[in-house]
Amino acid sequence: MACIGASGELTDSARRILAALDPPATPDQVAAHVELPLYRVRSGLREMAEAGLIEINDSGAYSITALGRSLLKPAA
């Protein structure tokens, strides 16, 4: 998975995308914030949603789940 590396850690781009979802944001807003191409943001959001790290609300904005927040925290 492009969003989670072989060691189980978030990739750098996934971490940037995830961090941009607080407060919840649309793919366009995330792309503008993290300065990644929109296709990469859409692809990354889809993969993170499939992994349960984020969820989409009725207005099309994505927010971080508890699992996503736990991965965003720096390692102790």
Partner 1 sequence: MPNHETPAPAPAHPATPSDQPASLPRLGMPAPHFEAVTTHGKVRLEDFQGTWLVLFSHPADFTPVCTTEFMAFAAVAPELRKRNVELLGLSIDSPTSHIAWVLNIKEKFGVDIPFPIIADLNKEVATLYGMISPGESKTETSRCVFVIDPNGIVRAMIYYPLTTGRNTDEIIRLIDALQTTDKHKVATPANWKPGEKVIVPPPATMEEVEARLKAGFECKDWYICKKSV
Per CB under 8 A, residues contacting partner 1 are: 1-3, 37-40, 42-44, 46-47
- Smallest separation, CB 36 to partner 1 (Å): 10
Classify each residue of 27-61 as buried b or exposed e, where b means 16 or more C-beta atoms within 10 Å of its C-beta. bebbbeebebeeebbebbbebbeebebbeeeeeeb
Task: Report angle CA 68, 69, 70 to the nearest 5 degrees.
Answer: 90
User: Whose Cβ is closer to partner 1: residue 15's or residue 76's?
Assistant: 15
- Smallest separation, CB 43 to partner 1 (Å): 5
User: Whose Cβ is closer to partner 1: residue 59's or residue 76's?
Assistant: 59
